[in-house]
Every structure is written in structure tokens, then in C-alpha cells.
Amino acid sequence: MSAVLLSHIRVVLSRTSHPGNIGAAARAMKTMGITSLYLVSPKKPPDIEAEAMASGAVDVLKGARVCASLAEALQGTIYSLAVSARRRELAYVSVDARSGARQLLAAAREGEVALVFGTEMSGLTNEEILQCRAATHIPADPGYSSLNLAAAVQVMAYESRIAALEAQPRPEVGAAAARHEDVENFYAHLERSLLASGFLNPANPKRLLPRLRRLFGRVRLEQEEVNILRGMLSSFDKNT
Amino acid sequence: MSAVLLSHIRVVLSRTSHPGNIGAAARAMKTMGITSLYLVSPKKPPDIEAEAMASGAVDVLKGARVCASLAEALQGTIYSLAVSARRRELAYVSVDARSGARQLLAAAREGEVALVFGTEMSGLTNEEILQCRAATHIPADPGYSSLNLAAAVQVMAYESRIAALEAQPRPEVGAAAARHEDVENFYAHLERSLLASGFLNPANPKRLLPRLRRLFGRVRLEQEEVNILRGMLSSFDKNT
């Protein structure tokens, strides 16, 4: 059971600078039974140094998918968790690593999910975080919170494994969770409708769209709910 | 309180081969607020490579005490936990990392405690484990349980920090939650807007409103979010 859940998790590394860190991350993942690795526009592709750092996890490295964008790496996922050093993001109030891992594993019962990590130096951009459904942080010491990339992957993979081992089979069958791309299409529709109605002023958008993403991001929308919301928007559109 | 508890923890690295691993372990410790490092007969003392790997934790490295024996490194402790890859040791039935960290922190209320790690290749000897009070293991994947030394230190330091944080009350400050009556007013507004737009057919309402309540009910709306949602609806209303 836990092995199946862990196989639903992909680790996404965005714009990593050093191949050695990709290798070390692959090793960290594999020690916890997670083997699906996605690389978004790595500065350099995995090389001999990456393989040296991967140690016995070269298979994870060799199986990595290289993507041109985060959107591509998240395609098909029903839940995604941005891992960030900051406790409070522009977009989300991030939950701690343990709660985040539990939410991730709850979603992994229903489909593919992602743990998303940014660059070694500056982490994820706000734009990247907004593409994820929620955010999480490792509660490091505020005076020195500089975990290296592989260390952060190690902690999140560890928490995910423990959450998977804790997971009891749940008889309750929930409604189908919405896919990443359908939720993104809803956001795009919402933006168009709000522009048309005049509520969103393109000259002065303030933080309206990020705030709405933060709101709906907390819900874990179901497929049918996305359909209802889009139907609502269409009914408003007709009148504008 | 948690800082005091964490200051009672020393990390003991026995017979480490590579100075770089000592540096990486120092960094891992410091990110979790643990700064006391003991080195038992390191093969090579910390050097320039160790400092590079320590990054912002060079102070931890420079403050490390080098000891001739594990007995010397454990002097003054009231509890010590051997960290091992194997679930069952000759000496002890080892507990998992989370339980181990909780036991460590319970002891840290009363005095100095130690987390003890062996060599990169073969871990601790049975003789070393027997000098500790108990043993713990990180529940890695049985097929590939090869965490590197710094990764193992990272996970144990993380669990220790969480156990320390759990030991005290946490003040949680969130955004102001919306009041019941404001949420109800939002639902009433939503119903009026959907009637006006024609999406809600009073002759055949189906389960539209209950479904929308179910959706927004999951969010725990904030006061400001309710204001935004009502502003959105008003912008749509003007056009119907």
C-alpha cells in the first residue's frame, strides 16, 4: 500500500544550477522509496558528477524527465506542494512539512501528486508557487534556515514516507479531484470574466488573482466543482 | 524553551572518514538549531573542504570538540541514542527516528543528551552501540537504505527540532476568519446573482446551492476573502 502511494509522488526540481545537487536529491528520494524525478529547465543536465552524487540511485537520475516548464512537469497531477524556506508566502500560508506531507499523501490516494523545489540560491518564484495547490516549509532555525537542496528533498521525502506508512486503508471514496490543467483553465476563465465585468482592472490588478488562487487552492477542488464554477462564469459572461 | 532543549543535544560523529561529510553534518545540525558537535577520532580533522561543505555553519565546525574515544564524547550526558541503519541491533531493538527523537527530548529536559553516528561505510560498531542508552533507525526503503551521513544527521536533527517545538505551546496567528453571518450573506448574494444570470433555475434548482456551500464550507473563508467574493458578484450583477 505505501509503495503504491509513494509511486504516485513525483519530485520536481525547478531550474537547478548544479548537477551534483540533482544527483544528491535522487539519492535522497530513493532512500525513502520515491523514484519519479522531473527536472524543469536544469541549468546543466545530469552529468558524471550527478551520477557520483546519486551513488546507488543512478536509475532514478537516468529515468528523470526533463521539462521545458513547470506547467509541463505538473501535467496530470491532482495536487502539488511548493516547498519553500519562507513560512509565509505571498500566495499561501504555508503549512509545516509534516502537515504538508500528510496532505500530499491523502491526495496520492486519488492520483499523481508533486513535491516542487526551486533553485539552490533563491528557491521558487512566486509565480511558480502560485501554480502549485499549496505550500509547505521545513521549520528550520530562523537564524540559519539554509538547508541545501538535497537536504530539503531528504526531509520532505522522509516525511512523505512516514505519512505513507501511517496511512490506513480508507474505505471512504471521495469525488474525483480536479486535474491541474482543469484548475488552471478555471483560473484563466475567472480572469477573463473579471476583466470583462470590470472588477479586475488590468492597469491596477492589485493582488486580486493571487488572492483568489490562494482561496481556491485551499479547497482541493473536485472535477465536478470546476465544471460548476465554469458554468457559473459562463452564465455571467453572457450578460457582459 | 525549545532553544534551551536543543542546546542540550550534542551530535557525536565517530571515526568519520571524509572531512567534507563533517562539514555537511555541521550545516545540517545548525539548520535545526543544534550547534554542539563532538568528533571521535576523525580519520582527518576538519579542513578547507569541511568548511566549504559547512557553508554558514563554520562556527559549529570550529567549535567542534575532538575526542579520543566515544566514552570521552559521552561524558556528562544523561541519555544517548545510537543512530543505525539496521532496525534490529545486537544490543537493542531500535525505535524509529520519531520515537527516538521524542525520547531524546524528554531526557533533554533534565540534562545533556547525545545523538551518535558511526562511519560512512559501516556505521557504529556493536561495542559503540552498547555504550549508548538506546538505538534508533530511520525507516528507509529496505531496498535502498543508504542515507549519506549528513542526510541521516539532517533527518535526526529535524525530528529532534520538531520534538522540541512540540514540547511547548504554539501561538497560532492567522488572518481573521469570516463571521458566520457574513458567510451567510455571501451565500444569499451568490444565490441572487445566479438567479439573475439564469444559471440557477428556480423551477429546477437541482443541488447547485448545496454544492456551492459544500465547496466554500471546506475553505474556512477569511473576512477579506468574503469581501472580495462579494465585490466580484457585484461586478457581475451590474451587467445583468
Residues B81-106 have a mean pLDDT of: 83
Residue B52 touches partner A, C-beta closer than 8 Å? no
Helix (H, G, I), strand (E, B) or coil at A85: coil
Q: Which three cell numbers stand for residue A21?
A: 545537487
> Choosing among A215, A216, A230, which should be mutated to test the B contact, i.e. which has the most B CBs within 10 A?
A215
- pLDDT tens-digit readout, B52-66: 999 999 999 999 999
How confident is the model at residue B76, as a pLDDT? 87
- pLDDT tens-digit readout, B31-55: 999 999 999 999 999 999 999 999 9
Residue A221 touches partner B, C-beta closer than 8 Å? yes
Q: Do B139 and A162 touch (CB under 8 A)?
A: yes
Nearest CA in chain A to B230: A199
- pLDDT tens-digit readout, B212-230: 887 887 777 888 999 999 9
Give B219's strand partners. Answer: none
How confident is the model at residue B168, as a pLDDT? 61
Residue A227 touches partner B, C-beta closer than 8 Å? no
**DSSP H or E stretch at residue B71:** helix B70-74
> Choosing among B236, B237, B238, B239, which should be mutated to test the A contact, i.e. which has the most A CBs within 10 A?
B236
For residues A47 and A16, is the Cβ–Cβ distance under 8 A? no
As a whole number of angstroms, the distance between CA A195 and CA A184 comes to 17
pLDDT interval class at B94 (50, 70, 90): confident
pLDDT interval class at B149 (50, 70, 90): very high
- Cell 550526558 belongs to which residue? B77
Residues B100-123 have a mean pLDDT of: 93
- pLDDT tens-digit readout, B156-178: 999 999 999 987 654 444 677 78
Decide: residue A115, CB within 10 A, 0-12 exposed, 13-18 middle, 19+ buried. Answer: buried
What mean pLDDT value characterizes chain A? 91
- pLDDT tens-digit readout, A130-184: 889 889 999 999 999 989 999 999 999 999 999 999 876 554 446 788 999 999 9
Residue-by-residue DSSP string for A154-188: HHHHHHHHHHHHHPPP-----PPBPPHHHHHHHHH
How confident is the model at residue A143, as a pLDDT? 93
Question: Within chain A, which residues score under 50 in pLDDT?
Answer: 171-173
For residues B33 and B6, is the Cβ–Cβ distance under 8 A? yes
ipTM, two decimals, is 0.79
How confident is the model at residue A174, as a pLDDT? 62
How confident is the model at residue B184, as a pLDDT? 85
Going by C-alpha positions, the residue among A14, A10, A160, A32 that lies closest to residue A77 is A10
**A136 min Cα distance to partner chain B (Å):** 15
As a whole number of angstroms, the distance between CA B198 and CA A172 comes to 35
Residue A236 touches partner B, C-beta closer than 8 Å? yes
Residues B176-186 have a mean pLDDT of: 83
As a whole number of angstroms, the distance between CA A73 and CA A100 comes to 20
Which distant-in-sequence residues (6+ apart) come within 8 Å of A177 by Cβ?
A78, A79, A107, A110, A111, A220, A221, A222, A223
As a whole number of angstroms, the distance between CA A189 and CA A180 comes to 14
Helix (H, G, I), strand (E, B) or coil at A50: helix
Closest to A155 (Cβ–Cβ): which among B155, B165, B212? Answer: B155
**Chain B CB contacts of A146 below 8 Å:** 27, 31, 55-56
**Chain A CB contacts of B36 below 8 Å:** none
As a whole number of angstroms, the distance between CA B167 and CA A132 comes to 32
DSSP single-letter state for residue A132: S
For residues A150 and A158, is the Cβ–Cβ distance under 8 A? no
pLDDT interval class at B179 (50, 70, 90): confident
